[in-house]
Structure 1
């Protein structure tokens, strides 16, 4: 990893419009990083970029969808042109559409695989050359669901277990020039549960999150710490649970 230039390293954050992505943007901005905020909800990332810029940070809003390679290629070109290239990529975009496995969930199954797993791969592919220029950090937001499977979460489990396996292989491929950091949160208060369509799964998740969840800022602070380590130190896998979470 190279020495940080004046103005801080450049961090690209996918899924930056809310939750862990938004909190990570705030944490990295506070540490002096320059930011490219990428999400499908253009209005949300534009407002966040404007807020951070007004506070003295450098931040650009980059509307994009990690499942659309063409928009991701355009995003990478824009980051290279406006910020000089990415030093940190935070693959945060994801969906948690919990439900028992059945034909009723075919579309949601495809959406989770395309976003959680293939989306992270696509974002990494298009930004990889930038990360390699002088060294960088690839941060993949996985989940405790990438370690423990449970009924009603099979596809979500599959995407996160897949992300963990891919991350470990990438760690071996990219070392020592690019650090690969996997963050595995447990229950975090975000919008993830809002999008669950299976009624029983939604109710169970909301109950568990209401009783026992940490904040997105808690996770963001860990990410900021991990990417701030000296070049010879790599925090490859970090599991973060609420103190009272059993599984």
Structure 2
């Protein structure tokens, strides 16, 4: 049977015939530590921007990665040694100026993980460090990573306002006080205690698993919680802070 015109066209197609952009992923990895919102950044050990701080990330591997989500998860594991409970796309940015090597596209992701010391990270870079979000604003990051971080930070604020996103940065079990502090740090605002607790408990997104030492070590034991099944999909009708 003769080959169809479409198949003949596909067989003769040469992807190298056209100039193509370089494609990477970059990941803003957030955690809470010492009462602060922190972001993982790495010091680059190669040009361009050698010795500059940057968001973790890397190029798409056409042989290893079935899609860009697979690229992001592979790079996340290589940079941190863990598979984050939450990893999601924020935006895709591409232009001729963001990378001096070539016309470049990156897909930005954000990830949330419980705090772990950078000594546990396994990627070979000059240094990996958790920086408080306020301190990073004083740094000159490589490429357009300062703008990428701002995009991820805004997504983090907005999504925290109507979901239980902060459960992904807390070690379990946690108290309601710890969860409220996580909400406030991720949203960069203060929340009224009684209203916050009422909304969380009425939503059935938590399950009580015991008691622990109260914050400050004094007073009655604090109830400890873990996320209830399916809580990661819960959307609040009204945003927190209203």
TM over 0.5: same fold? no
Larger strand proportion of the pair: 2
- Higher percent of residues as helix: 1
TM-score (norm 2): 0.29
Larger radius of gyration: 2
Normalising by structure 1, report the TM-score.
0.29
